[in-house]
Amino acid sequence: MTTPPLSTAPGTAHRVSTGSTTGTGSTTGTGSTTGTGSTTGTGSTTGTGSTTGTGTPSAPRPARAFGETSTGSFATIRPHLEITGELGDRYDEILTPAALEFLAELHDRFAGTRHDLLAARLQSRVHAANGRDPRFLPETAHIRNDPTWRVAGPGPGLQNRRVEITGPTDRKMAINALNSGANVWLADQEDATSPTWANVIEGQLTLADAIRGALTYDGPDGKAYRVTGAPSDRVDGARPGTTPTIVMRPRGWHLVEKNLTFVDRANRRMPASGSLVDFGLYAFHNAHRLIDQGSGPYFYLPKLESHLEARLWNDIFSHTEDHLDLGHGSIRATVLIETIQAAFEMEEILYELRDHCAGLNAGRWDYIFSIIKTFRARGRRFVLPDRREITMTVPFMRSYTELLVATCHRRGAYAIGGMSAFIPNRRDPAVTQRALEQVAADKRREARDGFDGTWVAHPDLIPTARAEFDAVLGDRPHQLERTREDVHVTAADLLDVASAGGQITEAGVRDNVRIALRYIESWLRGVGAAAIDNLMEDAATAEISRSQVWQWIHENSALADGRRIDAEWVAGLVTEEMAALPRTPGDRFDDALEVFRASALEPEFPTFLTVAAYARYL
């Protein structure tokens, strides 16, 4: 079947005149960000005038084309992006001159603030290492204490989110998700996708084709995959033939796209931001068509660590809506609360994104990783037991999820539950039965706690998850009326990591070593979501595995049988586990071993294992 080419965005997107740009990513006009999340004036505006200290708009500035500067005595060049990766089939439909110009403008206006915020993250980690715990910010207490404000809420097609299926954006997995009967498909360009150049651009092609009704895939075995929507024999609430609303998750702020180089006004060259690339290409090519179809450009925002990072996203959304002639508020975002820092700023994050926010999600696996990473050198009270013992019912995790629900419903935002890692195995009924029981219990707890929807990782889990939410919601699309006034979570509750209890066992250490090696090997081959030992593993769960090993070694933690964990002993386990792995020609286990050693066995702790691995191996 011949796939029709993409159409470009309507017209040549117009240039906004919100002030000149004076540095890489910084702006001095409307809603500009000039430091670590700070803005000039007392709030941003979305018109064409600048804000000059009091929030009163000045007269509009004369229109200035993108790249034109007024820097006076020194010459600058036009900011632009250069493609350094190889161009595959149809890549030119995504990497059009107009799309690249839009990406360049996003980088010119916002990349500088991104760098500032990443530097602020580093400082926050230094504070945590030195004993300063996260806290509810006194300087934003007025936001938390103001009962009057609300978020925009769900956009068209997001009113019912009771079951969302997550997965990467390769063509086969996308078609399976679109045919699953879920309410929402989280089209994941982040943790479930290995960010190879092919996966990044071909994932954009997948999404564009899906939105245009042109997505097909013919497998190497001759099997044809086509989008038909929910199956006609499904009896769990999905209308036959319907497809889920798409919510795309771009990469986090910390990741770059090395196959695109941003050249700034001073002719400085740097890798493009993965976040801006993923978001920008998807919005540029698809926003108008999605709105015309009765949906919209919707996003999941991963790994935020502060409300200032949410403010940056809000500025980007407002700029994009202006640039692409979208109505204000057309873009909707659901923020993953998956760092301990963000857990203390949930209300502020909602407030910063209030014109664009649909809800928050309890990203449990990255949240656990964030706790280990933040407090990894703070002593034994922050040491967690075997991963399998860190359930959603341990006290500090209960505090996190209950605070999320109460915060969301107080502000009119949906609370979306997380993903149980258990997955069925169609060849093993016992494994499938165990998975269904585990998922049913997990979703029953979420629905009863007040969540408005949840995630699953496999189509066969949708009926189980939907049944638990149907039992609580009935015909209602949400339960926002449950404001959970009974919830009173303190900073001490969120930081009570010792409440997890449990033990560290040799089996738990071996599980972490084996899962990390197998997942990293899969990731290096370009597969970012991997079924391992009947659990769905992605980058977040691999991060837990390697960071626990690092922390246990660093703390010289004791096993349940009294033995101490040290680097020499773990190195022996790594050798044994490597020897037991099934090897095939062309596998990446040798490289995976090097990545694991660098991220789990060295004295220095890499903030993310994927950063160095991407730079070196992908």
Q: Give the integer Cα–Cα distance in Å for 411 and 253.
A: 26
- Nearest residue to 83 (alpha-carbon basis) of 307, 277, 213, 231: 277
249 has catalytic annotation: yes
The answer for residues whose C-beta is within 8 angstroms of residue 587's C-beta and 6 or more apart is 521, 525
- Helix H, strand E, coil C: the string for 98-135 is HHHHHHHHHHHHHHHHHHHHHHHHHHHHHHHHCCCCCC
- Bridge-based pairing of strands 80-83 and 256-263 is antiparallel
C-alpha torsion sign, points 495, 416, 163, 245: negative
CA 564 to each of CA 88, 572, 597: distance values in angstroms, whole numbers, following the listed order: 51, 14, 19
> In this structure, are residues 312 and 113 in contact, taking their beta carbons and an 8 Å threshold?
yes
Amino acid at 122: L
Neighbours of 117 (CB within 10 A): 22
Host H or E run for residue 66? none
3-class DSSP state for residue 339? coil
Q: Give the integer Cα–Cα distance in Å for 181 and 164.
A: 9
CA 546 to each of CA 224, 323, 426: distance values in angstroms, whole numbers, following the listed order: 38, 42, 30
* The residue to which tokens 């769990």 are assigned: 236
> In this structure, are residues 423 and 535 in contact, taking their beta carbons and an 8 Å threshold?
yes
Which residue is catalytic, options 109, 114, 234, 249?
249
3-class DSSP state for residue 259? strand
| Secondary structure E strands in 374-463 | 414-419, 453-456
- Cα Rg for the chain, rounded, in angstroms? 24
Amino acid at 106: L
The burial class, CB within 10 Å (0-12 / 13-18 / 19+), for 587 is middle
DSSP letter assigned to residue 357 = E
Buried b / exposed e across 205-234, counting CB within 10 Å, b at 16+?
Answer: bbbbbbbbebbebeeeeeeebebebbeeeb
| Secondary structure E strands in 420-538 | 453-456, 530-532, 535-537
The answer for residues whose C-beta is within 8 angstroms of residue 136's C-beta and 6 or more apart is 144, 344, 491
The burial class, CB within 10 Å (0-12 / 13-18 / 19+), for 400 is buried
The answer for residues whose C-beta is within 8 angstroms of residue 263's C-beta and 6 or more apart is 77, 79, 80, 81, 82, 269
Catalytic positions, written as ranges: 249, 538
